[in-house]
């Protein structure tokens, strides 16, 4: 059986509470009506980080598991959830509008997310 032939209803997401990238994934899942089992990762725990590194070569979170399929990288997970979820795509189909969408997504990632993460650090 090929990967993806029997995907589960509930997907597992490992992330860090309060992390902007984890929040982006969870919000995408909520918007698309995808059931998520959100699990918090202690980035200072060697045991937990070894588990994450088995499925995310750079040791980064969030990580999503759907049966035997693992995916890491915030934008990759969001794209996967957009495809697996319900309703219209969150990404515009028109090329010009889609380019502007990605432009603003890039700006948000580069400018706003570091500020949000800094606020969460205390």
Rounded CA separation 13/105 (Å) = 21
Whether residue 76 sits in one domain with residue 103: no
Q: Are residues 104 and 50 both part of a single domain?
A: no
Tell me, yes or no, whether 40 and 17 share the same domain.
yes
The Cα–Cα gap between 82 and 45 comes to: 31
**23-72 pLDDT per residue, tens:** 999 999 999 999 999 999 999 999 999 999 999 999 999 999 998 899 99
Residue 81: alpha-carbon gap to chain centroid? 8
pLDDT in tens, 90-104: 999 999 999 999 999
The number of domains in the chain is: 2
């Amino acid at each position: 059986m090929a990967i993806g032939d029997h995907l589960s209803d509930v997907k597992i997401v490992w992330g860090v509470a309060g992390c902007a990238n984890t929040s982006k994934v969870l919000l995408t899942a909520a918007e698309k009506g995808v059931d998520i089992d959100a699990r918090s990762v202690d980035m200072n725990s060697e045991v937990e980080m070894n588990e994450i590194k088995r499925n995310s070569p750079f040791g980064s979170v969030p990580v999503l598991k759907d049966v035997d399929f693992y995916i890491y990288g915030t934008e990759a997970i969001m794209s996967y959830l957009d495809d697996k979820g319900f309703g219209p795509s969150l990404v515009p189909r028109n090329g010009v509008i889609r380019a502007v969408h990605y432009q603003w997504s890039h700006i948000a990632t580069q400018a706003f997310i570091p500020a949000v993460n800094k606020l969460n650090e205390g």
